[in-house]
Structure 1
Amino acid sequence: MLKGYNLMTKIYNKENYLDEEFVEKMSIIQFMKLLDKKDKRIETQIEVYGLEEFLYYTGKEEGIKILKKYFDKGIDYLSNNFAIIKIILEQKISVWNGKPIIKYKNEEYPLTNIFGTSLKQQESEFWTANTNINS
């Protein structure tokens, strides 16, 4: 697994990775709260759940705006500590008009708006992105 964000489905995670390797499992809300702290002490191997639900319930534009704000706050800490963050998704990422998206409850969410242009497909249910989402 690569340093940075590793987006994968639950099924892919279960089939390919042992969950014991990851010290901390948390919701996307908990992850954003950790990134918001001034004195960050974040484990460098984290599993994060609930991205689709967060985007759905906050609304596409607002959800993306909020995620980018918190992910921006974590760039230096996560990059300097070589963090590996697994983002566990309900559905696999699709490509629509050349851009990766996730679909949830009949809504589509463009992932490059959150993770930047470094988001790359590694396998059918596994994508990676740099912790510096602005690169």
Structure 2
Amino acid sequence: MSDDKILMLNREKPPIMGVWNGVGGKNEANETADEGAIREVFEETGFKVSQYFSKGVITWETSNDEKDGLYVYLFHVDSTLDNEVMRKTREGILDWKHIDWILNPNNLGVAEMVNQYLPVLLEKEGDSLFEYNDGIVTLIE
């Protein structure tokens, strides 16, 4: 995140192939959520980040009735990085998107959860707990 822009990734692979989403991935064995987030940002963008904010967790039930979820972070980067032009990576296309563009209700190109939880992450201090069910993200706490 830099001022009024967020670095988004248009993924070339499932899940959520072909839509803009945040950068992310899975934790490796014996890796904390913080360590995994920093590593994934570097692997997918080439950016080394040190200033980050854990913003919460989103959970959902899988088709096997098991709980799954993801940790959500915001990372601040030097404002000079947001001048980089769109570029292709092994994961897809990276580009800085204005927050207003991401949250525009007419924008069908952003992953369905993003416009539901992002306003809370940007406004609320600390961690939030969300639950995702049938296409709707609900703030629990």
TM-score by length of 2: 0.27
Larger radius of gyration: 2
TM-score by length of 1: 0.28
Q: Counting helix residues as a fraction of each chain, which structure ranks higher?
A: 1
